[in-house]
Copies of this chain bind each other. A is one copy, B any other.
Amino acid sequence: MSVPSETATQTISYSDLVALLAQIFQRHGTSAEVARVLAENCASAERDGAHSHGIFRIPGYVSTLASGWVDGKAIPRVEDVASGFVRVDAANGFAQPALAAARALLLEKARSAGIAVLAIRNSHHFAALWPDVEPFAYQGLVALSVVNSMTCVVPHGAERPLFGTNPIAFAAPRAGGDPIVFDLATSAMAHGDVQIAAREGRSLPPGIGVDRAGQPTCDPKAILDGGALLPFGGHKGSALSMMVELLAAALTGGNFSFEFDWSKHPGAKTPWTGQLIIVIDPAKSAGQDFAERARTLVEQMQGVGLQRLPGDRRHQQRAESLRDGIVLAGHDLQQLRDLAAQ
């Protein structure tokens, strides 16, 4: 799968893409519920122009399901631990169905306690992180999530990789506009973007990664072939990546990025780790309405010359996709149809 380029393109509606992807997931071993959740997630990323987490991921999902590494029919077990704490054992399934199963309880706790945390363990996260937090912002809540992944990032000051790309995602409501949402890998580049660069034969800027000898490289293939990524922002990004390991793995009861061994499952692609989501109800805060305050901040950011907010590009692309349909390379759409029929 590739980003639409000079090849012939075709257009598909969001709902048709969801249906097609759900068919693929179910055909390749997930339950109907898991297929629905993953299809919406993946189609949303494609719809929003987040190509590295859109249909580009489908072959990886199919491969990991075929390998027996992840349970596509897992039924998450939700535990109500305390007035602000929900735990989910994803039962070796995907993280998104675990979040879906716990969402109502998490929301109820956040509104009642003012803050609540969801600790997902024994889970596989192979998607963008912003779709997990953005819905809370549409419900007037502030959400923060972290997920660890698989060893591919050299801690700042170390010699060999240990951390995952370990993203941090944040969403907050904003009056008179789309929520403020960001999703940033604590690595210098997201793994999917390195894969896309390798596929397209593009060089990377300096500072992204090292080759298998630990030497700096701008070749994405050298990073993927035994090399590793660097954290963004030197020791600060590295500290944040370490924090993600502690919150997403140690605090949930999940695996660190370096702990799982998928060597007996050739074709496995999904990190088997954990995820943490913190949701805060700003209605409990003092003073003015939070969403109005967020609007004020955004106006001031624009006032000092900021052209584009985090998340703006996604929201613009989303509006276009919902109006005109999602544009895919013809051969990619055909590949999806083949996978659905296989």
**A residues lining the B interface (CB < 8 Å):** 79, 81-85, 87, 89, 112-117, 119, 121, 142, 144, 154-155, 157-162, 168, 170, 172, 180, 182, 184, 232-237, 239-240, 242-243, 245-247, 249-254, 256, 258, 278, 280-282, 284-288, 290, 293-294, 296-297, 300-301, 303-308, 310
Given the complex, which residues of B lie within 8 Å of A180, measured CB to CB? 242, 246
Question: Within the oligomer, what is the number of copies of this chain?
Answer: 2
Taking the nearest CB of chain B, how far is it from the CB of A337, in angstroms? Answer: 37
| A303 partner residues in chain B, CB cutoff 8 A | 162
Q: Given A157-B307, A300-B162, answer yes or no on A85-B115 (Cβ-Cβ < 8 Å).
A: yes
Q: In the complex, A305 Cα to B287 Cα: how many Å?
A: 48
**A300/B82 in contact, CB under 8 A:** no
Other-chain residue from B157, B254, B278, B293 in contact with A250 (beta carbon distance below 8 A): B293
Contact between chains at A157 and B286 (CB < 8 Å) = no
Contact B239 A284 (CB under 8 A): no
In the complex, which residues of chain B have a beta carbon less than 8 angstroms from the beta carbon of A232?
233-234, 236-237
Given contacts A305-B158, A310-B235, contact A117 B83 (CB under 8 A): no
Contacts of A112 in B (CB 8 A): 82-83
A162-B298 Cα distance, complex, nearest whole Å: 11
Complex CA–CA separation, A256 to B298 (angstroms): 12
Q: Which of B237, B251, B300 has a CB less than 8 Å from the CB of A282?
A: B251
Instruction: Provide the main secondary structure of the chain A interface.
Output: mixed
Contact assessment for A161 and B304 in the assembled complex, using a CB-CB cutoff below 8 Å: yes
Are A114's CB and B84's CB within 8 A?
A: yes
Known: A157-B306, A158-B306, A233-B236. A301 touches B83 (CB 8 A): no
A284 CB to nearest B CB, Å: 5
Interface pair B160/A305, CB less than 8 Å apart: yes
Contact partners of A240 in chain B: CB under 8 A: 168, 184
Contacts of A254 in B (CB 8 A): 287
> Is B245 touching A287 in the complex (CB atoms < 8 A)?
no
A218 CB to nearest B CB, Å: 17
Bound CA span A287–B119, Å = 12
Q: A246-B142, A253-B287 are in contact. Are A81 and B114 (CB under 8 A)?
A: yes
- Taking a contact as CB atoms under 8 Å apart, the answer to whether B157 and A251 are in contact is no
List residues of chain B with CB within 8 A of the CB of A286. Answer: 79, 87, 89, 119, 121, 252-253
Q: Are A297 and B242 in contact (CB under 8 A)?
A: yes
A290 and B250 contact, CB distance less than 8 A: yes
Q: Which residues on the B side are within 8 Å of A154 (C-beta)?
A: 304
Question: Which partner residue on chain B sits nearest A311 by CB separation?
Answer: B239
- Scoring A242, A249, A258, A296 by chain B CB atoms within 10 A of each residue's CB, the highest score goes to A242
Closest to A81 in B: B284
Q: Which of B160, B233, B252 contacts A237 (CB 8 A)?
A: B233
Inter-subunit contact B87/A84 (CB<8 Å): no
Q: Nearest B residue to A286 by beta-carbon distance?
A: B253
Question: Contact partner of A249 among B160, B243, B293, B301, CB < 8 A?
Answer: B293
Residues of B within 8 A of A85 (CB): 113-115, 281, 284
A119 to B285, CA, bound (A): 7
Closest 10 CB pairs of A and B: A233-B233, A85-B114, A253-B287, A253-B286, A159-B305, A84-B113, A250-B293, A82-B114, A84-B84, A160-B304
